[in-house]
């Protein structure tokens, strides 16, 4: 297939490009580099199966020639309020990527009679009141809250995608992505893994907020990409959770990182309530992915960490 990927220079977009090229497809990558990294696709430049255009998806998209599939992955995603590429500092761009970007990429799919896949997020569940979160759960969200620019952009994007499917018969798919880690992720992302792994590699005590009993589930990037590709090849139109259902507390998470890295500095607890940006529990119900896609993650957390550490060491100048 000839596949358009928006956000192709991002963490997930670049890994998806690699996977799909390895399966014989041609990739047309779009990115405006607000959050994407040129280094993520540098190895693809000059590849006859990869073409790239610097473009903002909130503007009209013209692609010469036929397109068989469109994957919309362009959006700021970092919750780090200190990061210039995080959605707290790019609120309008984030909303436009979810609204105008989804509209424009759906337009490409409609014009080409192409299959379409939207990258949505577990954040659409907000701070969930049920556990684990299944696709039928509508969420516990605050449209005026501090995370709203990202959460509501994705919720709108899902609604628009299904409207195109139902009204225009566009062949759509929606993946709800849970916490993912691996090489090429942004070290300043602001989420638990890059924060704590960076501290561990620098020999610093790991900062854990509150009592460390808030939970997360971490999926290695290769597993996530495999689930997304299976969804792309499927005939499923309703949202599907892709993530690792193995749940751990942040304290367990920190202790595992210290053990794998050999960091002897331990853990430092920071007093105070958890941030309003920080859901207390997050774990996917992947029953639909297991049933429909015959997918489940294969890489356990410690193995995923070992695969990720060399990239972090390189970026930190420790390699």
User: Could you please report the per-residue DSSP string of 1-70?
Assistant: -EEEEETTTSHHHHHHHHHHHHTT-EEEEEE-SSS--GGGTGGGTT-TTEEEEE--TTS----SS--SEE
CATH 3.40.50.720 for the 2-185+220-244+283-299 domain, yes or no: yes
Question: Catalytic positions, please?
Answer: 150
Find where tokens 């569940």 sit: 125
Cβ neighbour number for residue 117 with a 10 Å cutoff: 26
In Å, the largest CA–CA distance within the chain is 58
The rounded distance, in Å, linking the Cα atoms of 208 and 117 is 36
Sign of the C-alpha dihedral computed for residues 19, 23, 120 and 104 taken in this order: positive
Token readout for 67 is 């397109």
Helix H or strand E encompassing 307? helix 301-315
**Reported pTM:** 0.95
Length of the chain equals 319
The rounded distance, in Å, linking the Cα atoms of 26 and 56 is 21
Task: Answer yes or no: are the C-beta atoms of 223 and 247 closer than 8 Å.
Answer: no
Helices (H) and strands (E) in the chain, counts: 8, 13
* Alpha helices (runs of H) in 113-218, residue ranges in sequence order: 148-168, 192-201
Token readout for 164 is 């195109």
The rounded distance, in Å, linking the Cα atoms of 26 and 23 is 9
Helix H or strand E encompassing 251? helix 250-261
Residue 230 CB contacts under 8 Å (≥ 6 apart), including other chains: 293, 294, 295
The whole-number pLDDT of residue 81 equals 87
Digit-by-digit pLDDT tens for the chain (319 residues) are: 999 999 999 999 999 999 999 999 999 999 999 999 999 999 999 999 999 999 999 999 999 999 999 999 999 998 888 888 899 999 999 999 999 999 999 999 999 999 999 999 999 999 899 999 999 999 999 999 989 999 999 999 999 999 999 999 999 999 999 999 999 999 988 888 999 999 999 999 999 988 888 888 999 999 999 999 999 999 999 999 999 999 999 999 999 999 999 999 999 998 755 554 567 778 999 999 999 999 999 999 999 999 999 999 999 999 7
The whole-number pLDDT of residue 235 equals 97
């Amino acid at each position: 297939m000839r596949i358009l990927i928006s956000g192709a220079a991002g963490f997930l977009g670049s890994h998806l490009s690699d996977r799909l090229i390895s399966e014989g497809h041609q990739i047309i990558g779009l990115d405006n580099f607000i959050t994407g990294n040129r280094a993520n696709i540098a190895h693809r430049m000059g590849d006859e199966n990869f073409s790239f255009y610097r473009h903002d998806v909130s503007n009209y998209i013209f692609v010469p020639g036929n397109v068989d599939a469109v994957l919309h992955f362009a959006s700021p995603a970092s919750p780090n309020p200190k990061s210039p590429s995080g959605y707290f500092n790019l609120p309008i761009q984030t909303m436009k990527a979810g609204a105008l970007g989804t509209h424009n990429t759906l337009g490409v799919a409609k014009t080409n009679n192409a299959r379409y896949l939207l990258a949505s997020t577990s954040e659409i569940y907000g701070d969930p009141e049920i556990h684990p979160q299944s696709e039928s759960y509508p969420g516990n969200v605050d449209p005026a809250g501090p995370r709203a620019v990202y959460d509501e952009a994705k919720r709108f994007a899902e609604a628009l995608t299904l409207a195109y499917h139902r009204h225009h018969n566009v062949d759509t798919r929606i993946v709800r992505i849970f916490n993912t880690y691996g090489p090429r992720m942004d070290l300043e992302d602001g989420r638990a893994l890059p924060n704590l792994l960076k501290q561990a590699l620098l020999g610093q005590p790991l900062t854990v907020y509150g009592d460390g009993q808030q939970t997360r589930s971490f999926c290695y990037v290769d597993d996530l990409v495999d689930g997304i590709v299976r969804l792309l090849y499927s005939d499923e139109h309703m949202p599907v959770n892709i993530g690792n259902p193995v749940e751990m507390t942040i304290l367990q998470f920190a202790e595992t990182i210290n053990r794998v890295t050999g960091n002897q500095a331990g853990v430092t607890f920071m007093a105070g309530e958890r941030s309003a940006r920080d859901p207390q529990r997050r774990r996917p119900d992947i029953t639909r992915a297991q049933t429909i896609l015959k997918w489940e993650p294969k890489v356990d957390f410690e193995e995923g960490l070992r695969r990720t550490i060399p990239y972090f060491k390189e970026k930190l100048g420790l390699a």
